[in-house]
Amino acid sequence: MLENLQKMLLGSGADYLDIRYEVKKTTKVVFAGKELKEAGSNRTDGFVVRALKDGGFSSVTVTKESDVPEAVRLAVQGASAMAGQGKNIVLADVESVVDSVEPDLHGDPADVSLEDKIALTENYNKLMLTQKDIANTNMAYSEVDREKFFTSSEGTAIRERVCTVSIAGEVIARRDGVTQNVRAAIGGANGMAALMDRDDVFLKRAEIASQLLDAEPVKGGTYDVVINPSLTGVFIHEAFGHFSEADLVEDNPVLREKMSIGNKIGSDIVTIIADTLIPNQVGYYKYDDEGVPVKTIPLMENGVLTGRLHSRRTASEFNEPITGHCVAEDYGYPPIIRMGTIYLKKGELTREELLGQLKDGLYLCDGKGGQTSGENFTFGAQYGYVIKDGKIDRMVRDINIMGNLFTTMKNIEAMDDTMKLSERGGCGKGQLNIKSGYGGPSVLIRKMVVGGV
């Protein structure tokens, strides 16, 4: 395939051209309650062409190989249309690479039958359905096995296979007309091992869903909070991580100034690292979709900005080192800057000491989606507890938090000595990125706006 792609690169007239071909094999097993709703495996594929000409840059996606010449023509035409009308696009220099990468899988999903995947999912699903108050589940096994072939006119030719698996969904409890749901997810990028012997996870999620039926909606207001590692991951991803993506601050002069390397925007104890190379993590890959080897990037050290995530285009624009974070959802999209795995470095307190330092406030647990816009962010918590004098009190629900990046980062007061990374990603910045890993310890933050209901 790489040789075929290299032939397609010839004679375009572009100053630079790359073509990515991707085969995406997916297996899905979907249960709605006790009913199997979908099961099967499929193979899809497509091409992404990008061209640089006279300082203009353009991308085209197609699904048919016979359309690739038209895609090359359109990409060059698009780049020419941009030339002289905006920024003069320059791609940061990188060394050409020829490589083939296989993931380190503990149990290759390709070697497991569809029947066994159905049985595994059904086991966890049934387990939850038999628990107290559980009215329904929506659970799915999802396997995404991508074989990517990248070639460029600079001589890079890379084949990399990335494979993620998960069993995830929601468990719904209902009693006396009240309905509550909790998410459940296991998975990773290291094969089927991540999915085996995990009954405890699903039992716990069912128990929390049931407990939520007796929880009170949280009252809206401004609270001091401790967020648990799962929520810390969402928080770091949404509140800070997106602003370390160069494309999100590039054309916003005020944000770009505020996010200048060397600026102190966090409290002294905040250190944040983008480490996509942590083995077996959901965010793991070796080369991004521009053929650049990914690097570990300290983004913030002791509250001071130390790094930023880049594509080749933005690395040149910012005159900063290339990082290898330009990634596409699949063959349907050109790559954009994504985080890979990002985490907040842990502290030294125990969780009890952290809650003691909080004294009165909320202990919020497990992410329920987040969103960012400019320096503002929101994220939901699946459940929480009122903390009184450092002790866990009653359970609360319906928790959504809003904050401002620059205010909140300075209000981080302490963290505990735990460290947990997410097993499943899902970032919706224009495209879905299931390879967005995140995590950290439990964190004490002062003065958070909680919406309540």
Partner 1 sequence: MKKLLEIAASHGCKAEVFSTRKKSVEMSTINGAVNDVSASIQFGVSLRILKDGKQGFAYAKNLTDREELVQNALASLKAGVEINFDFPASGSVSFTEDYDESVEKMGFAEAKETIDKLKTMYSDVNEGVVSLAGGSGTSEIRILNTSGSDLYHKDSSVFGVGSLMYPGTSSGLNSVFAGKSAANICEKDALRTIDYFKSSIPEVEVGDSRMKVLFAPDSMYALTWRLSAASSAKAFYEKVSPLLDKKNQQVFSPLLSFVNNPTSGNLGRRVFDDEGIKTGEYAIFKNGVFTTPYYNLDYASKMNEKPFGTGFRGGMWGGDKISVTPSPSLAHARFAYGEKSFEEMLSMIDRGVIVYGSLGAHSGNILNGDLSIGLNPGLYVENGKVVGRVKDAMMAGNIYSILSNVIAVENSAYYTDSIYDNPSILIDDVSVVGS
> Residue 450 Cβ, how far from partner 1 at the closest point, in Å?
7
**Minimal distance in Å, beta carbon 120 to partner 1?**
13
Minimum CB–partner distance for residue 353 and partner 1 (Å): 28
Distance CA 74, CA 12 (A): 10
C-alpha span between 125 and 33 (Å, rounded): 8
Q: How far apart are CA 398 and CA 428, in angstroms?
A: 22
Nearer to partner 1, 363 or 379 (CB): 379
Q: What's the min distance (Å) between Cβ of 289 and partner 1?
A: 15
Contacts of 354 (CB under 8 A, 6+ apart): 226, 414, 415, 416, 442, 444
Question: Of 333 and 343, which CB lies nearer to partner 1 in the complex structure?
Answer: 333
Least separation in angstroms between residue 286's CB and partner 1 is: 25
Report d(CA 187, CA 122) in Å as an integer.
16
Whichever of 119 and 193 has its CB closer to partner 1, that residue is 119
Burial class (CB in 10 A: 0-12, 13-18, 19+), 440: buried
Task: Determine phi and psi for 61, rounding to 5 degrees.
Answer: -115, 140
Q: Measuring CA to CA, which residue among 211, 217, 216, 178 is closest to residue 453?
A: 217
On whether the CB atoms of residues 151 and 19 are closer than 8 A, the answer is yes
**For partner 1, which is the closer residue by CB, 280 or 371?**
371
- Of 181 and 281, the one with the shorter C-beta distance to partner 1 is 181
What minimum distance in Å lies between the beta carbon of 296 and partner 1?
A: 27
Largest alpha-carbon pair distance within the chain?
A: 72
As given in the structure block, the two tokens for residue 210 are 């049931």
User: 61 CB contacts (<8 Å, ≥6 apart)?
Assistant: 46, 47, 48, 49, 71, 331, 332, 333, 334
Nearer to partner 1, 151 or 400 (CB): 400
Smallest separation, CB 366 to partner 1 (Å): 12
Closer residue to partner 1 in complex, CB, 276/436: 436
